Structure 1
Amino acid sequence: MFKTESENTVQRPQFNYGGQAVIEGVMMRGSQAMAVAVRNPAGEIIVHTEPLNPRIYRSRLARMPFVRGLTLLWDALGLGVKSLMFSAEVALEEEKEDKAQKVFEGPMQWGTVAVSLAFSILLFFVLPTFVARQGMTLIAAGAGESQLLENLLEGLIRLGLLVGYVWGIGLMQDIRRLYGYHGAEHKTINAYEAGAELTPESVARFPLEHPRCGTAFLLTVVVISILIYSLLPPLTLPVRVLSRIILLPVIAGISYEFLRFTAAHQDKRLVRWLTKPNLALQRLTTQEPDMEMLEVAIAAFERVLAFEGGTEVEEERGVVSETAVSPLSSD
Structure 2
Amino acid sequence: MSEEPEKTPDTDQPPEEKLRLGGMALRNGLLVHGPTSWAAAVRTPSGEVRTASGPKPRVRGPVERVPLARGAIRLAEAMAVIPLVKRALPEARLPFQDTTVLGAMAAATLGGAALRRRKAAGPGTEALVAGLSLVPSLIALRGGELAAYHGAEHKTIGAYEQDAEDHTKEHDRCGSHLMAPLLASNLAGTAVLKRAVEKPGPLHGLALSVASVGVAVEVFAWSERHSDSRAAGLLRRPGHELQRVIGTREPTAAQLEVGRAALAEVLRAEGVGEGAQSG
- Counterpart in the other structure of 2:115: 131
Partner of 1:251: 212
Question: How much does 1:63 deviate?
Answer: 3.6
On the 8 A contact 2:267/2:276 being kept in 1, the answer is: no
Name structure 1 gaps, 5 residues minimum. Answer: 93-118, 138-142, 144-149, 197-201, 317-321, 323-331
Aligned residue in 1 for 2:101: none
- 1:186 deviation in Å? 1.4
* Partner of residue 54, structure 2: 50
Distance 1:295 1:5 in 2: 28
Aligned equivalents of 1:299 and 1:12: distance in 2? 20
8 Å contact kept, 1:220–1:278: no
Q: CA RMSD in A?
A: 3.4
* Distance in 1, Cα, partners of 2:176 & 2:46: 32
Counterpart amino acid of 2:239?
Answer: N
How many angstroms apart in 2 are the aligned matches of 1:236 and 1:227?
14
Identity %: 28
Equivalent in the alignment of 1:25: 29
For 1:286, give the aligned amino acid.
T
Residues 203-245 of structure 1, C-alpha deviation per residue, up to 9 Å, x if partnerless?
Answer: 3xx2222233233324431121112222235377842665322
Q: Check whether the contact 1:212–1:260 (CA below 8 A) recurs between aligned residues.
A: no
Choose from 228, 235, 250 the match for 1:274: 235
Q: Tell me: higher relative CO, structure 1 or 2? Use CA pairs within 8 A at least 6 residues apart.
A: 1
Identify if the C-alpha distance between structure 1 residues 91 and 224 changes in structure 2 by more than 3 Å, giving closer, same or farther. closer
d(CA) in 1 for partners of 2:261, 2:187: 40
Letter in structure 1 aligned against 2:145: R
Map of 1:226 onto structure 2: 187
Indicate whether 1:41 and 2:42 are aligned: no
Structure 2 unpaired stretches of 5+ = 1-7, 94-103
SS of residue matched to 1:160: helix
TM-score by length of 1: 0.66
Matched, 1:310 2:272: yes
**CA 1:159–1:248: 2 relative to 1, 3 Å:** closer
Q: What number of residue pairs does the alignment pair up?
A: 258
What residue number does 2:137 align with?
A: 166
Distance 1:315 1:13, change over 3 A: closer
- Which stretch shifts more, 246-255 or 230-239? 230-239
- 1:133-152 → structure 2 map (5 Å cutoff): 134=118, 137=120, 150-151=122-123
1:289 CA drift (Å)? 0.9
Q: Does 1:157 align with 2:118?
A: no
Query: Which whole-Å CA distance do the structure 1 matches of 2:142 and 2:198 have between them?
Result: 35
Contact 1:14 1:193 in 2 (8 A): yes
State the alpha-carbon separation in 2 of the partners of residues 248 and 290 from structure 1.
37
The change in CA–CA distance for 1:122 and 1:227 in structure 2 (over 3 A counts) is: farther
What is the CA distance between 1:263 and its match in structure 2?
2.7
The alpha carbon displacement at 1:36 in A equals 1.0
Matched, 1:298 2:260: yes
1:95 matched residue in structure 2: none
Paired position in structure 1 for 2:156: 188
Q: Residue in 2 aligned with 1:285? A: 247
Separation in structure 1 between the aligned mates of residue 33 and residue 194 of structure 2, nearest angstrom: 41
Displacement of 1:15 = 4.5
**Residues 173-208 of structure 1, C-alpha deviation per residue, up to 9 Å, x if partnerless?**
xxx302211111111122222232xxxxx23xx222
The answer for the alignment partner of 1:90 in structure 2 is 91
The one-letter code sitting in structure 2 at the alignment partner of 1:257 is E
Check 1:51–1:243 CA distance in 2 against 1; reply closer, same or farther (3 A cut). Answer: closer
CA gap of 1:189–1:215, structure 2 versus 1, over 3 A, is same
- Structure 1 residue 18 displacement after superposition: 0.8
Amino acid across the alignment from 2:261: A
- 2: distance between equivalents of 1:266 and 1:121? 37
Cα deviation for residue 35 of structure 1 reads 0.7
Q: Distance in 1 between matches of 2:174 and 2:240?
A: 9
| 1:68 is the counterpart of 2:70 | yes
Matched residue type, 2:131: G
Q: Give 1:115's aligned residue.
A: none
| Contact kept in structure 2, 1:211 and 1:259, CA below 8 Å | no
